[in-house]
Amino acid sequence: MSTSVESFADLGLSDTLLQTLTQIGYETPSPIQAQCIPVLLEGHDLIGMAQTGTGKTAAFALPLMEQIDVKVSKPQALILTPTRELAIQVAEALQSYAKNLPGFHVLPIYGGQSYTIQLKQLSRGAHVIVGTPGRVMDHLERKTLNLDNLKTLVLDEADEMLRMGFIDDVEWILERTPEQHQTALFSATMPEQIRRVAQKYLVEPREIKIKSATATVAAIRQVYWQVSGMHKLDALTRILEVEDNFDAAIIFVRTKTATVELADKLNARGYAAAALNGDLNQQMRERVIEQLKSGALDIVIATDVAARGIDVPRVSHVVNYDIPYDTEAYVHRIGRTGRAGRTGNAILFVAPREIRMLRTIERATRQPIAPLTLPSRADVTNKRVADFKQKVVEVLAAEGLDFFANIVSQIAEEQNVGAEEVAAALAMMAQEGKPLQIAGEDPAPARPATRDDRRPGVFGERERKPGFESRGERPRFDDRNGDKPRYEDRPRREDRPARPAPSGDMVRYRIDVGREHGVEVRDIVGAIANEAGIESRFIGRIGLYEESSTVELPAGMPAEAANALKRTRIRGVPINIRQDEGRPGGSFGGERKFDGERGGFKKKKFGDR
Ligand code: AMP
């Protein structure tokens, strides 16, 4: 690791937050946290050059939370993020750090979400607002958001905000914040325009940069899997199962909690796995390493600190289940394999948002990391069959089969079947808890990683251009008759009562998410209600299947709603909505009907600003 700071306690955080960090399983500060937290606690403005995956959220969130007076129900911190998905993520992070701060309230506000609900939440009072620039600007204009009590302003992923055309909005907001406040700007890169904004609005900022010193790595096969369409745990077991030369693995995760959880899950799937984290005393730690050496354990799930210096030659694989904070940590992690002249394999799991970190690692190690195609069901089956055959061959070569051959002959004779059929029955029995053929479907292959893949998630699309749908002009489906379905901004309802049969014409659509993606009916209702602005009670029957689902929506969907749905993801998976074949009536989204209109509408709205 690139810092000598070993403990959060060295950074000046309060006991309350330190206790929270222990509870949520953070073991040591990441390099960006070690450097930023003390500077921010001292009250300086800051420019942090860091990207997703470095732990930058906690780097600004923890000091900011130390400033909050929970008794004052006014926004004291504002965090601007480029996307709604990031706003939600950051708000969730703050909420988790507020575990021991009763009354603390953080509110994400972003485009596409109902104004009614946002206004209600704002009027209830929030201490921290995490928002996308367009929506924050709208609320400032409407005076529904007041920043008079602002102590901290954070610009998160400033270069992304620039890239997405929000920089003018950001400046507009910066000009309307009170004089006295601390500003922190985080950006993965520092283009000229961001530099200019920093010079104009930050006061003597300290600049902190995560080093990505080049480093040579041993001759290790390095591959990455872009997390998509399948849970990491399922992908991990599939990969480990078909990897050639698998002997033992060290799997790296970020938190102590995750080491224990993953070890439990892998044990439940039949792996000999154990956790290795900073909670273990030296003796326990050595015991785990001994067990890995001797073969009593095949997998150790570790945090960076706990795995430091492990030298176990049989470790054939290192899996970066959670991406490391920096290139130094990556190089250190993968150095746990390929030891004593053996070949090593390093597998990296990369969430779409973390693609930039992948590229940084490639640059720093001066080695390309090849994409890994997830083994298909057929691959796993073939591997299991090959292993099974191998076992049979070994037994065939052994002595003492006569007794068993006799039993087979007896069964064949008694049942009047061939020995082959008896052997098939025995093979079936021999599967035990691990069937040779695995059930379920293969997920659709992920697209190759691109820069644009850095903002996925449940609602993983960009915020619409400010003003586009921000003043309640989202096109409505026929609302002349109060009982007819309408497309409009409505609050998301998580737990819906039984859905009444909708009135009016319904069209059935198919979406490419189902049970295997961990999707539930409420996810589908929530996403569609939010994205298409359709009141959830007008969403018709939902059929949840293994790999896809169907959903009935009112006919005559406006183009804007249709376009929003086309970009929608549920649990990170693009839903690829289309009309379900074989059903008459309605074309998806009435695109053709609305397209021309939408162009004009959009233009006019932008001009309004
Ligand atoms: P970020 O780079 O802020 O998006 O953080 C990436 C992930 O790292 C999040 O899941 C955080 O919860 C996690 N994380 C951040 N800091 C730490 C830490 N010091 N120890 C363990 N996990 C962390």
**What is the number of the ligand 1 atom nearest to the C-alpha of 89?**
4
Q: Which atom of ligand 1 is nearest to the CA of 56?
A: 3
Pocket test for ligand 1, best of 60, 81, 186, 254 (most atoms within 8 A of CB): 254
Q: What is the pLDDT of residue 441?
A: 67
Q: How far is the CA of 230 from the centre of ligand 1 (A)?
A: 21
- 437 within some domain: no
| Shared domain check, 415 and 291 | no
Q: pLDDT tens digit string along 97-133?
A: 999 999 999 999 998 888 888 899 999 899 999 999 9
Q: How far is the CA of 68 from the centre of ligand 1 (A)?
A: 21
CB 254 within 8 A of CB 282: no
CA 312 → CA 221, 222, 316, 373, 424, distances in Å?
A: 18, 19, 9, 28, 41
**Shared-domain flag, residues 327 and 234:** yes
17: which residues sit within 8 A by CB, 6+ positions away? 8, 62, 65, 66, 97, 100
* Cα of 243 from ligand 1 centre, angstroms: 29
Beta bridge partners of residue 78, listed in sequence order? 129, 153
Type and span of the H or E element at 184: strand 182-187
- Residues with Cβ within 6 A of ligand 1? 26-27, 29-30, 33, 52-58, 254-255
The CA 257 to ligand 1 mean position distance, Å, reads: 13
- On whether the pTM is more than 0.85, the answer is no
* Count: domains in the chain: 4
If asked whether residues 204 and 230 sit together in one domain, one would say no
**Per-residue pLDDT reduced to its tens digit, 514-526:** 877 778 777 788 7
Is residue 83 within 8 A of residue 130, CB to CB? The reply is no
> Do 347 and 391 fall into the same domain?
no
Per-residue pLDDT tens digits for 483-518: 333 333 333 323 333 333 344 678 888 998 887 777
Show the CA angle centred on residue 155, arms to residues 154 and 158, nearest 5°: 160
Q: Output the residue whose Cα is nearest ligand 1's atom 22.
A: 254
- Which tops the pLDDT comparison, 602 or 395? 395
Do 249 and 296 lie in a common domain? Answer: yes
CB-based contacts of 605, cutoff 8 Å, min separation 6: 465, 467, 468, 473
Higher pLDDT, 478 or 571: 571
Residues 82 and 187 in one domain: yes
Ligand 1 atom closest to residue 28's alpha carbon, by position in its atom list: 19
In a domain, 318, yes or no: yes
Assigned domain for 1 exists: no
Closest protein CA for atom 9 of ligand 1: 55
The atom of ligand 1 lying closest to the CA of 25 is: 21
Q: What is the number of alpha carbons within 13 Å of residue 375 lying toward its C-beta?
A: 20
Of 80, 66, 85, the C-alpha closest to 20 is: 66
Q: What pLDDT is attached to residue 277?
A: 95
Same domain, 365 and 499: no
Please give the average per-residue pLDDT across 477-482, as a whole number: 32
Q: How many CA atoms lie within 13 A of 399 on its CB side?
A: 0
Do residue 371 and residue 408 come from a single domain? no
In sequence order, what are the residues at sequence separation of 6 or more whose Cβ sits closer than 8 angstroms to the Cβ of residue 98?
Answer: 20, 65, 104, 106
Strand ranges, E, within 4-120: 46-49, 77-80, 106-109
The radius of gyration computed from the CA coordinates of the chain, to the nearest angstrom, equals 28
Report yes or no: 317 and 248 within 8 Å, Cβ to Cβ: yes
Tell me the β-bridge partners of 549.
Answer: 511, 544
Residue 587 confidence (pLDDT): 37
Mean pLDDT is lowest, of 20-29, 131-140, 154-163, 205-214, for 205-214
536-572 pLDDT, tens per residue? 667 888 888 878 888 888 888 877 788 888 888 887 7
- Reference 182, options 45, 13, 47, 80; nearest CA is 45
Which residue lies with its CA nearest to atom 11 of ligand 1?
A: 55
* Single-letter amino acid, residue 175: E
Atom of ligand 1 nearest to the CA of 54: 2
The reply to whether 609 falls in a domain is no
User: 155 with 186: CB under 8 angstroms?
Assistant: yes
Residue 451 covered by a domain: no
CA within 13 Å, CB half, 465: 14
Mutate to test the pocket of ligand 1, among 6, 8, 26, 86 (most ligand atoms within 8 A of CB): 26
For residue 436, tell me if it sits in a domain.
Answer: no
> What residue type is 193 in one-letter code?
Q
The conformation of residue 376, written as its DSSP 8-state character, comes to P
Strands 273-276 and 299-302: parallel
Degrees to nearest 5, angle at CA 284 with 281 and 289: 120
The answer to whether residue 438 sits within a structural domain is no
User: Which numbered atom of ligand 1 lies nearest the CA of 325?
Assistant: 2
Q: Report CA(357)–ligand 1 centroid distance (Å).
A: 14
Task: State the closest ligand 1 atom to the C-alpha of 96, by its place in the atom list counted from 1.
Answer: 12
Q: Which of 5, 13, 57 to mutate to test the pocket of ligand 1 (most atoms within 8 A of CB)?
A: 57
DSSP codes, 34-86: HHHHHHHHTT--EEEE--TTSSHHHHHHHHHHHT--TTS-S--EEEE-SBHHH
- The answer to whether residue 365 scores a pLDDT higher than 80 is yes
Instruction: Write the DSSP symbol of residue 81.
Output: -
CA of 54 to the centre of ligand 1 (A): 7
For ligand 1, the distance from its centroid to the CA atom of residue 59, given in whole angstroms, is 9
Q: In the listed set 155, 179, 209, which residue is the last one of a domain according to the structure?
A: 209
C-beta separation of 338 from 219 below 8 A: yes
| Confidence at residue 5, expressed as pLDDT on a 0 to 100 scale | 60
Residue range 435-448, pLDDT digits in tens = 888 766 676 655 55
Contacts of 149 (CB under 8 A, 6+ apart): 72, 74, 75, 76
Question: What is residue 547's predicted lDDT score, i.e. its pLDDT?
Answer: 80
Do 89 and 179 belong together in one domain? yes
Strands 299-302 and 569-570: unpaired
Nearest ligand 1 atom to alpha carbon 50: 2
Query: Measured in angstroms, how far is the CA atom of residue 323 from the centroid of ligand 1?
Result: 10
Domain of 79, in residue numbers: 8-209
In angstroms, what is the span from residue 113 Cα to ligand 1's centroid? 27
Q: How far is the CA of 25 from the centre of ligand 1 (A)?
A: 10
30 Cα–ligand 1 center, Å: 8
- Strand-pairing partners, residue 183, are 153
- Domain boundary (154, 183, 209) is at 209
Would you say the C-alpha torsion 69, 73, 74, 80 has a positive or negative sign? positive
- How many angstroms does the Cα of residue 93 sit away from the middle of ligand 1? 9
Same domain, 99 and 227: no
What average pLDDT does the structure give for the chain?
Answer: 82
pLDDT for 40 = 98
Could you tell me the distance, in angstroms and rounded to a whole number, from the CA of residue 2 to the centre of ligand 1? 16
Would you place residue 33 in the very low, low, confident or very high pLDDT band (cuts 50, 70, 90)?
Answer: very high
Closest Cα to atom 1, ligand 1: which residue?
Answer: 55
| Atom number, ligand 1, closest to the C-alpha of residue 53 | 2
Whether 103 and 75 map to the same domain: the answer is yes
Beta sheet of 506-511, edge-to-edge order: 542-544, 549-554, 506-511, 578-579
- Residue that is last in its domain, among 344, 376, 408: 376
Report CA(55)–ligand 1 centroid distance (Å): 4
Q: How far apart are CA 181 and CA 153, in angstroms?
A: 7
Rounded Cα–Cα distance for residues 141 and 145 (Å): 8
447 inside domain: no
- Residue, of 502 and 333, whose pLDDT is higher: 333
pLDDT at 465 over 60: no
Side-chain-facing half-sphere of 359: CA atoms under 13 Å:
13
Q: Does pLDDT of 207 surpass 90?
A: yes
User: Which conformational region is residue 334 in: left (phi greater than 0), alpha (psi within -120 to 50 degrees), or beta?
Assistant: alpha
Look at ligand 1, atom 8, and give the residue with the nearest C-alpha. 55
Please give the Cα distance from 65 to 127 (Å, whole number). Answer: 9
Closest residue (by CA) to atom 18 of ligand 1?
A: 26
Tell the residue nearest (CA) to atom 15 of ligand 1.
55
Residue of 30, 64, 252 with the most ligand 1 atoms within 8 Å of its CB, for mutation: 30
Calculate how far, in angstroms, residue 52's C-alpha sits from the geometric centre of ligand 1. 9
Would you state the pLDDT for residue 143? 93
Nearest CA to ligand 1 atom 14: 55
240 and 287 both lie in a single domain: yes
Residue 488 C-alpha to ligand 1 middle, in angstroms? 36
CA distance 547 to 562: 22
Ligand 1 centroid distance, CA of 311 (Å): 26
Minimal-distance CA residue to ligand 1 atom 16? 55
Mean per-residue pLDDT for 451-472?
A: 31
